[in-house]
Amino acid sequence: MPPPPDLLVIRLDELQEDIEEVQQVVAKAETRHERLKVLREAGASAADRLRTARKEAHDAALDAEGTEFHDALESLSVSLKDVAAQIRQINETVADFDRAMIHLKEAEDINNRCGQILDDVRDIRSKVRGGELSYADAWAAFDDLSDTRCRTLFSDYVDLLGGLTLRDTGLDDRISELTDALLDELGTELLALPARPADAAPVEGAPSLGSLIKLWFPEWTIWGVPLFGYDAGLAWVGRGTPLAAQLLAAEPAGSRGCLVADAYATYALGPAYASAAILLRMRTPAAGDPGASPAEAARAHVILRILRALGESGTFGAVVGIVEECWHEAVRQRGGQIEPANRDELDRFADRAVSTLDNVTTLRRFDSQLWDREARSVLDLLRIADSGGPPPETVRGLLNAAWAARLEKFDNRAYVNAIGTKAKRLWTPRHGGAGEKRPGSSIHPPRKPGYGTTFLPR
């Protein structure tokens, strides 16, 4: 009687197959650019041929003898014109797809991870066969591999493919593209990818998508886009420049880079970041609430202090004032403390952050002057119903204008939705093929959980 099948071997084979499947599908994902290229070239060729055909039909109509023949050629010419218009439309759609698609340097990252797991699978198998590993230890190693590293890999893989599909098809309402453009303005090489909601995704091992930031569903709205300034801040910290190191060293104990990322985002994005972070995300500290987060009070304090240093007057100051009043009122309602216990320390940090970030040559402070230059005219456009207008100079100007407009009638949901829609409509990508212009990079250091992954270290 043959020995019963070795269950461990079956499981290891199965795992190996799954991993190889991931490798294949990720490789295939990159071929979508090739397929699109074929489509693009076919569209261009068809347009050329049609142009020639139309010219020939037109010339023939001029030379035609006999009314019937002439009319037939005229009719053909009109039909060809219609077809040309349809092909133009198809080509424009293809161009939209092309713009939304990104090239994945992450494929390499996932391949590497797959390769490491496959090595481990082979290692377990050979060690069991060689008697170097007991079955009990081999099962424990398998469980570890399967339950942690593989599970994370598969989740990322699903996120990656799902996100790519959503981006490619434009189902994310082009928010990923808008976020990419913002990240580009902030000087990072990060790219946004639609993903599952935070609670449903694995929390551990979050940095698995390399330079891709997860844009949680259903927050694919313009209002959450400024939150990615935080991820840009984390990326800056991760670069380990002397200035970043200096600022990290000045951070109050236990902040784990969080306040530096907040400072970076606030400095670079101005009131839009404060509006999104404080009004949409932060949990107000409450008296006697074990879940209350004093860290959030500290973060709000730092964000608001930095904004005051960037400008007190005009609409800039007014937006900050409204956010501040709103936050303080909510804290009061929950019986919490508005002033964080370590206020002086936080003030020193905030002041230090502004002076340090002033020295980062690649970063421009979004102060009240820049607000006036980049957001004021956009705000005027947003206020007028059904108005078109020139595209905003920058995404951060657009986001600031949109948030300012929202705060003007924050309790009118229809108005807020209309502002969001209009703001998205005003934005047009400045270059075709975001992926070609800014390929994702896998050279970034491991990321700490950010707004796109988990908002706060708890």
The β-bridge relationship of strands 212-216 and 191-195 is parallel
- Asked if residues 400 and 380 have their Cβ atoms less than 8 Å apart, the reply is no
Give least dist CB 159 to other proteins, A. Answer: 38
Give least dist CB 273 to other proteins, A. Answer: 17
Structure tokens at 365: 């402070």
Structure tokens at 102: 């990104």
In the numeric block, the tokens 């991820």 are attached to 231
- Residue 162 neighbours by CB under 8 Å, 6+ apart: 194, 195, 196
Nearer to other proteins, 268 or 310 (CB): 310
- Asked if residues 142 and 8 have their Cβ atoms less than 8 Å apart, the reply is yes
- Cα 128 to Cα 178: distance, rounded to the nearest angstrom: 51
Nearer to other proteins, 193 or 407 (CB): 407
- Cα 389 to Cα 209: distance, rounded to the nearest angstrom: 37
Structure tokens at 320: 């900050």
Nearer to other proteins, 373 or 431 (CB): 373
Give least dist CB 222 to other proteins, A. Answer: 18
Nearer to other proteins, 17 or 380 (CB): 380
- Cα 288 to Cα 21: distance, rounded to the nearest angstrom: 51
- List, in sequence order, every residue forming a beta bridge with 448; answer none if it has no partner: none
Structure tokens at 379: 């705000």
Q: Residue 202, exposed/middle/buried by CB under 10 A (0-12, 13-18, 19+)?
A: middle
Give least dist CB 312 to other proteins, A. Answer: 6
Give least dist CB 320 to other proteins, A. Answer: 9
Give least dist CB 413 to other proteins, A. Answer: 16
Nearer to other proteins, 191 or 322 (CB): 322
Which alpha helices (H) appear in 186-284, and where do they start and end?
228-239, 242-250, 258-269, 271-274
Would you call 215 helix, strand, or coil by DSSP?
strand
Nearer to other proteins, 262 or 374 (CB): 374
Nearer to other proteins, 226 or 257 (CB): 226
- Cα 141 to Cα 120: distance, rounded to the nearest angstrom: 9
Nearer to other proteins, 146 or 315 (CB): 315
Nearer to other proteins, 77 or 315 (CB): 315
- Asked if residues 242 and 356 have their Cβ atoms less than 8 Å apart, the reply is no
Summary count for the chain: helices (H), strands (E): 18, 2
- Cα 67 to Cα 15: distance, rounded to the nearest angstrom: 74
How many CB atoms are closer than 10 A to CB 177?
24
Structure tokens at 156: 């990322």
Nearer to other proteins, 238 or 317 (CB): 317
What residues make contact with other proteins under the rule CB under 8 A? 311-319, 321-322, 325, 367-369, 371-372, 376, 404, 407-410
Name the CA radius of gyration of the chain, rounded.
Answer: 28
Nearer to other proteins, 239 or 373 (CB): 373
Q: Residue 205, exposed/middle/buried by CB under 10 A (0-12, 13-18, 19+)?
A: middle
- Asked if residues 268 and 363 have their Cβ atoms less than 8 Å apart, the reply is yes
